[in-house]
Amino acid sequence: MFTFDIVPGGTVRDVLRDGRRDIIDLVDRTYRLHEAGRTVNPDSYFLRFPEKPDSRIIALPAFLGPESGVAGIKWIASFPENTRSGAPRASAVLVLNDYETGYPVACLEAAAISSARTAASAALAARTLRPAGYQGSTIAVVGAGVIARNICDYLHAADCVPGSWLVHDLHEPSGQALVEHLRATGRAPAAFTTDLGEALAADTVVFATTALKPYVTTPFKPGQLVLHISLRDLAPEVVLAAQNILDDVDHCLKADTSPHLAEQATGSRDFVTGTLAGVLNGEVTPDAERPVVFSPFGLGVLDLAVGAFVLERARRDGTAIDIPDFFGETRRW
């Protein structure tokens, strides 16, 4: 009851690297569990800073349901200016709680967990929303940071391997670094482009940027799949011209995401086609005559599911660090 473990970043990274296919399947199951109403996923809470409007720290509490017995919270900071010094934009911790007692049982380094669940979500959507596959097609990645690298790795794990990769980033050294990563790990040619328009014309476009406001104003074409992971790249008219698949409608339509701006522009949610879980369950079928945009807000239940997976593997392998006497009092009297 009173055990408490720390799982450091190196251990988290190793578990995730060796379990990408398992993580994709886990995200699939968790989406379906959430769609069935068997989880609790409250609104995220944003701590903002008046002098640093581009920075925030977000709390994502969640509960995976009585069967799992896992509750918890992710506390994740997004400070885009970190990238100027070469540091990652995001840092995070995840605290897991026992459902029976409420006591915390572990604290995990969670930037890697957050990145993995995001990437697995993108890969699951890529596999589901383009059932014809990727042979001979081009995937363009707009934004070349940690999230983008992880998405590419998870696309490989999901067997979403294109005929070629195209990378665009305003910071060319980052873009070239992702190109080199793809050349070293991928199974297809990769190239960097300074032309955003060239990237936007690809068969599949992945957005993994730090954009705060829309800058893409030209609608996509039928047959294109857009993995809109960074959520704020597309102008409302682009969203309205597409079939829109979200992870959770209420969560996604807030915080000035592109779908939220589309809702504000129209006063309606009629542009929302459905959720990814709805597609997975066969309840939603996107229209092939229109482009498809997947916009995931990011659900705390995914962090819990992946975090619990990492904790179980770390405990099994003896790489979780037990903290004796973490709790100051273990008896009422």
φ, ψ dihedrals at 207, nearest 5°: -105, 120
Q: Give the confidence band of 288 by pLDDT, cuts at 50, 70, 90.
A: confident
What average pLDDT does the chain have?
95
CA atoms within 13 A on the CB side of 52: 12
265 residue type, one letter: A
Question: How far is the C-alpha of 101 from the C-alpha of 7, rounded, in Å?
Answer: 21
Q: Which pLDDT does position 186 carry in this prediction?
A: 73
- Asked if residue 33 lies in contact with residue 65, where contact means CB atoms within 8 angstroms, the answer is yes
Complete DSSP assignment for 277-288: HHHHTTS----T
pLDDT digits 0-9 by tens, 237-252: 999 999 999 999 999 9
Q: Which pLDDT does position 247 carry in this prediction?
A: 97
In 3-state terms, what secondary structure has residue 251? helix
Q: Give the confidence band of 140 by pLDDT, cuts at 50, 70, 90.
A: very high
In 3-state terms, what secondary structure has residue 242? coil
Does the pTM surpass 0.85? The reply is yes
The structure tokens listed for 167 are 């990378």
Q: Which pLDDT does position 73 carry in this prediction?
A: 98
Q: Which pLDDT does position 52 carry in this prediction?
A: 93
Q: Which pLDDT does position 74 carry in this prediction?
A: 97
Q: Which pLDDT does position 9 carry in this prediction?
A: 96
In angstroms, what is the C-alpha Rg of the chain? 20
Pick the CATH number of 131-295 from 3.30.70.260, 3.40.309.10, 3.40.50.720, 3.40.710.10: 3.40.50.720
Nearest to 185 by CA among 211, 165, 213: 165
* Residue 287 CA from chain centroid, whole number: 24
In the beta sheet, which residues pair with residue 109?
A: 93
Q: Return the exposure string of 45-73: e unless at least 16 CB atoms fall within 10 Å of the residue's CB, then b.
A: eeeeeeeeeebbbbebbbbbbeebebbbb
pLDDT digits 0-9 by tens, 303-320: 999 999 999 999 999 999
Q: Determine which helix (DSSP H) or strand (DSSP E) holds 124, and give its type and residue range.
A: helix 111-129
The beta strand positions in 185-271, using DSSP E, are 190-192, 204-207, 225-228, 243-246
Work out the percent of the chain whose per-residue pLDDT is above 70. Answer: 100
Which sequence spans correspond to the domains of the chain? 5-113+300-322, 131-295
Q: Return the exposure string of 288-315: e unless at least 16 CB atoms fall within 10 Å of the residue's CB, then b.
A: eebbbbbbbbbbbbbbbbbbbbbbebbe
The structure tokens listed for 112 are 């890697």
pLDDT digits 0-9 by tens, 169-194: 999 999 999 999 999 987 799 999 99
What fold is seen in the domain 5-113+300-322?
Answer: ornithine cyclodeaminase, domain 1 (3.30.1780)
Q: Is the pLDDT of residue 289 over 90?
A: no
Work out the percent of the chain whose per-residue pLDDT is above 90. Answer: 89
The beta strand positions in the chain, using DSSP E, are 5-7, 45-49, 52-63, 70-78, 90-98, 104-109, 138-142, 164-168, 190-192, 204-207, 225-228, 243-246, 272-275, 292-295, 321-322
Q: Is the pLDDT of residue 137 over 90?
A: yes
Task: Identify the residue with better confidence: 154 or 329.
Answer: 154
Contacts of residue 277, Cβ cutoff 8 Å, sequence gap at least 6: 31, 32, 34, 35, 247
Q: Which pLDDT does position 84 carry in this prediction?
A: 85
19 residue type, one letter: G
pLDDT digits 0-9 by tens, 36-90: 999 999 999 999 999 999 899 999 999 999 989 999 999 999 998 898 888 888 8
Q: Which pLDDT does position 1 carry in this prediction?
A: 75
Which strands sit side by side in the sheet containing 292-295, from one edge to the other?
Answer: 190-192, 164-168, 138-142, 204-207, 225-228, 292-295, 243-246, 272-275
Contacts of residue 304, Cβ cutoff 8 Å, sequence gap at least 6: 62, 63, 64, 68, 70, 71, 72, 94, 96
Q: Which pLDDT does position 72 carry in this prediction?
A: 98
- Asked if residue 152 lies in contact with residue 165, where contact means CB atoms within 8 angstroms, the answer is yes
Pairing of strands 272-275, 204-207: unpaired
